[in-house]
Structure 1
């Protein structure tokens, strides 16, 4: 980093005389620094984008005559590794045009805020989104919102798949459709709408049914992530199992959004697991025999569909951008009529998981069970 400066969102402030808070007040991002001698505060104040790290160390030695140069350098290096800084000298990336940088300026501010991995210029997440290819399967309540969010965020290639046409009952929650679209294939309408939302992304679509693991595996070829927004067929040999096994074999991360009355949730499954079937095995081990996991249902309002879709899109964006870098498989969500009941679950791998066994067989013989 040539000319480090503290990111505007992480401007530090003192807590008493011997501590510093940096990273704002966002839980999980902010940090505290013990600074009994004032060395860290002086370094932070000097990191304003006009000095090199070596210059900052020299500045500390001037301010504190008894400070050894090696210690001053150590203070600067420790701060720079924290991720609260950007390089004022970094040129904009060639991957993004001036118009794209203007369009995604708010994205940059978001990623700059939440990303604590030191980067060259801060646009790395946006460049990763532009290069990414995402398959959106299902364009209903969850899928229409997720597809819009992915296009608006700048995901470079989005392929939208749904078997249905627009029906009157869809209009209560499926954001991309209007009364003029009744009877039209959803995929065709979504491609048109998203092209008008963001002409710099490549959006394609097709009207087709997915009826097996093999169907989904073929669709998934060449994509970096799956947003599963379809919930039929349900059950122990339904579309979520197909998605899990296709993604396990392909090594593709995926997210599945859903709602069941007021409960809105998203499951996030990284390429290295634990997988969806590990999750269902964990839950079913604690339930009455014969009761199976079902994250979906017919009861929905526009807000619950929107939250579901945007949670799904955020999960996909996190996986593509690598923010947070330590993202693990999990389930999260909220209960709209009991907001104190936040959903968050990390689950372990199941030693008897049929999905993971499928991945191991696929890795050995290069195929996938249909």
Structure 2
């Protein structure tokens, strides 16, 4: 790191007892540093992007005998960035402008030491994602992934736009009723972000083999379709196809006011393990039943897209193999479910 600088979103401050809090008040990002001699505070003040690492160590040496070790610890904390890091040439000038807020978010949310602010955006730009199903969940997910700058978004749906879709499916308007959803969706998404390769297929996935063929060459599957239904439906197909292909997948949806997203990847407990234990404990529901608002459909799609972005960037770095979500009629009932893989699971052990 050439010129260390404390991330502006992680600006440190002192508590009454002299302890330093850095990273703000957001759970999972803040750190506390015991600093009885004031050495860490002085080091952080020197990390303003105008000095090299060696200059900071030298400036601290008179009062702090272990200044080099202290500086290394602070640099490895994830609260410091390199002020001299140049934007990557792979991103065009208008992309740097378009994604500036993305970069600020990733800088804030990431605690990976010394990762350049634009590194997560490059991971998105290089990624290819399939969005299967362009209804309430899928239309919002496809929009969010395109807006965020995922390099290639492939949309798949076999339905036509209906008037009843328009209460929640953000990509369509009254003039689109009767048109294939995928045709409208690809038009609208290309208008959102010309830097993203948006493609589409007007088709239904009718078998596990068709799903396995669909995901070939992609990095993540965003499963937003709900038919055929479980227990032996499209999520089971996705679980097995993605495990065989070695790619992660996210399944999102809603059951009335309950919104849920499952995040799965090879090497971690699979969907079938989570479902089996969830059903045993009475904590598993299906998605896609009638009863949805623009807000609930939108939230389920945005949660799905956020999980895909997290898988692609590693921010936050949460191990797959879980489901999470919201209950809109009970805001204090947040959902998070994770179970270990079952003994003898033929997906997890493959």
Scaled by the length of structure 1, the TM-score of the pair is 0.92
- Pair 1:298-2:290 in alignment: yes
Shift, 1:120, TM fit? 4.5
Counterpart pick for 1:111 among 106, 128, 143: 106
Residue in structure 1 matched with residue 186 of structure 2 by the alignment: 191
Query: Structure 2: any 5+ residue segments left out of the alignment?
Result: none
Map Cα deviations across residues 247-289 of structure 1 (whole Å, 9 max, x no partner): 11111111111111110111111232211001011112224xx
Residue in structure 1 matched with residue 14 of structure 2 by the alignment: 14
Structure 1 stretches of 4+ with a deviation exceeding 6 A read none
- Pair 1:127-2:119 in alignment: no
| Counterpart secondary structure, 2:251 | strand
- Pair 1:307-2:299 in alignment: yes
| Counterpart secondary structure, 1:116 | coil
Aligned counterparts of 2:52 and 2:324: Cα–Cα separation in 1: 42
Aligned counterparts of 1:132 and 1:33: Cα–Cα separation in 2: 37
Shift, 1:16, TM fit? 1.9
Map Cα deviations across residues 123-153 of structure 1 (whole Å, 9 max, x no partner): 0000000000000000000000000000000
- Pair 1:328-2:320 in alignment: yes
Shift, 1:293, TM fit? 4.4
Aligned counterparts of 2:240 and 2:313: Cα–Cα separation in 1: 23
Conserved 8 A contact 2:104-2:117: no
| Counterpart secondary structure, 1:42 | helix
Aligned counterparts of 2:284 and 2:195: Cα–Cα separation in 1: 43
Shift, 1:98, TM fit? 0.9
- The total of aligned residue pairs comes to 350
| Counterpart secondary structure, 1:16 | coil
Shift, 1:352, TM fit? 3.8
Residue in structure 2 matched with residue 28 of structure 1 by the alignment: 28
1:168-183 mapped onto 2 (5 Å cutoff): 168-183=163-178
Aligned counterparts of 1:343 and 1:235: Cα–Cα separation in 2: 20
Conserved 8 A contact 2:251-2:261: yes
Counterpart pick for 1:347 among 339, 343, 347: 339
Conserved 8 A contact 1:162-1:207: yes
Conserved 8 A contact 1:134-1:223: yes
Conserved 8 A contact 1:90-1:120: no
Conserved 8 A contact 1:251-1:272: no
- Pair 1:270-2:265 in alignment: yes
Map Cα deviations across residues 33-90 of structure 1 (whole Å, 9 max, x no partner): 111111100000000001111111111123x1xx32xx11000000000111111111
- Pair 1:44-2:44 in alignment: yes
- Pair 1:258-2:253 in alignment: yes
Residue in structure 1 matched with residue 309 of structure 2 by the alignment: 317
Counterpart pick for 1:85 among 72, 80, 87: 80
The CA RMSD over aligned residues, in Å, is 1.3
Aligned counterparts of 1:10 and 1:157: Cα–Cα separation in 2: 32
Map Cα deviations across residues 153-189 of structure 1 (whole Å, 9 max, x no partner): 0000000000101011100100000011011110111
| Counterpart secondary structure, 1:356 | coil
Q: Give the 3 Å change call, closer, same or farther, for CA 2–181 of structure 1 in structure 2.
A: same
Map Cα deviations across residues 220-250 of structure 1 (whole Å, 9 max, x no partner): 0000001000000002221000001001111
Residue in structure 2 matched with residue 363 of structure 1 by the alignment: none
Residue in structure 2 matched with residue 227 of structure 1 by the alignment: 222
Scaled by the length of structure 2, the TM-score of the pair is 0.97
Shift, 1:350, TM fit? 1.2
| Counterpart secondary structure, 1:175 | coil
Aligned counterparts of 1:354 and 1:32: Cα–Cα separation in 2: 44
Shift, 1:354, TM fit? 4.2
Aligned counterparts of 2:161 and 2:346: Cα–Cα separation in 1: 36
Conserved 8 A contact 2:274-2:321: no
Conserved 8 A contact 2:256-2:290: yes
